[in-house]
Structures are given as structure tokens and as C-alpha cells.
């Protein structure tokens, strides 16, 4: 299934200038965005499914970046925080427009 325009725009914005989108991980998975310095890894997940949110959190866990961000639609922010906590990932959950954020410890 191809990615929507908003998904691609969010990836590009998260990667920033000089950053990469669609970064391959060692476990043959693909991370959505990585900044040029490699300090911030971002995964964009538009699905409402708990299973898909947990899979996105596992992709973040596979990357050893200092900052890990899971970007989801605003109604799914609490589900995404639970998914990150369940998979043992510490980081931030943001909405798609980056106006709201929530830390997960």
C-alpha cells in the first residue's frame, strides 16, 4: 500500500534538512525518518490499531537514537503512549501537526 501525501510530508518534516526518510534498520524493517545527525528517530503511524502502534514502537526501539518520536493523529495519542510503554520504549508521542506532545517514561 502506498503512503499518503500527508504521511510523506510528515516524514520529510521530521527528517529535517539533510535528514533521511525510509531508513533501513538491521532487522530488515524501515524507519520513517532520521535527522542528519542521527540523534532523532521518528516513526509516523496513522493507523488506529494497537497492533500497528506497537509495531511502530518496536521499529523505534530497534534504532539507538537519543530521541525517539512516534507521530500519530491526535485521537490516537493515548493509545500510542500505551503502545510505547508496553514495548519498553522511552520517548515522545506527538500529533501529526506537532502541536501537542506527550512524554513516555
Please give the residue that has the higher pLDDT: either 90 or 26: 90
Q: Which domain holds residue 36?
A: 5-104
* Threshold 0.85, pTM exceeds: yes
Q: What is the pLDDT at residue 7?
A: 87
Alpha-carbon span 81 to 21, nearest angstrom: 23
Query: In the chain, pLDDT over 70 holds for what percent of residues?
Result: 98
- Give yes or no for residue 77 having a pLDDT over 60: yes
Q: What is the pLDDT at residue 1?
A: 57
Q: What is the pLDDT at residue 6?
A: 86
Domain count, the chain: 1
Among 79, 86, 37, smallest CA distance to 61 is for 86
Amino acid at each position: 500500500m502506498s503512503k499518503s501525501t500527508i504521511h510523506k510530508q510528515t516524514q520529510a518534516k521530521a527528517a529535517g534538512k539533510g535528514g533521511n526518510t525510509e531508513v533501513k534498520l538491521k532487522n530488515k524493517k524501515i524507519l520513517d525518518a532520521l535527522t542528519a545527525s542521527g540523534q532523532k528517530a521518528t516513526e509516523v503511524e496513522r493507523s488506529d490499531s494497537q497492533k500497528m502502534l506497537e509495531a511502530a514502537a518496536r521499529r523505534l526501539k530497534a534504532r539507538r537514537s537519543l530521541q525517539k518520536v512516534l507521530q500519530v493523529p491526535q485521537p490516537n495519542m493515548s493509545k500510542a503512549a500505551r503502545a510505547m510503554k508496553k514495548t519498553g520504549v522511552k520517548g515522545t508521542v506527538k500529533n501529526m501537526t506537532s502541536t501537542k506532545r506527550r512524554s513516555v517514561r
